[in-house]
Amino acid sequence: MFILKEAAKTELQNRLKLSDSNQFIRLQMRKSCFMKVKVTLEESIQLNDTEIIMDELHFIMDKGECHYFRNKTLDFIPDQTGFNQFEII
């Protein structure tokens, strides 16, 4: 469904190591002036979620948002202010 860049994979693995109970990585799109990806860690899957397993990472997203991630790349890159953030490109 989407490509996972090494930088994003490494950052997610590090975040999961720091979290004792969260096992799912939720991908959401922030719908404002700019389409930005929101990444959170969650303990469970909701009824309307789709689960995608890549490189032993469990991603979940609302079925209504799957089209935002289709044929895209999830990366972890610096923004214009120098902070690192997840990007869908």
76 touches 57 (CB < 8 A):
no
Q: Which residues form the domain of 52? A: 2-88
Total tally of structural domains belonging to the chain: 1
Residue 13 maps to which CATH number? Answer: 2.60.300.12
pLDDT at residue 50, as a whole number: 93
Q: In Å, what is the CA distance from 77 to each residue of 61, 64, 65, 67, 86?
A: 21, 26, 22, 22, 6
Nearest-CA neighbor of 22 among 3, 44, 7?
Answer: 44
- What would the mean pLDDT of 29-37 be, rounded to a whole number? 71
In sequence order, the 6+-apart residues with CB closer than 8 A to the CB of 72 are 2, 3, 88, 89
- For residue range 56-73, list pLDDT tens digits in order: 899 999 998 888 888 988
pTM: 0.83
pLDDT digits (tens, 9 = 90+) for 20-32: 767 899 999 877 6
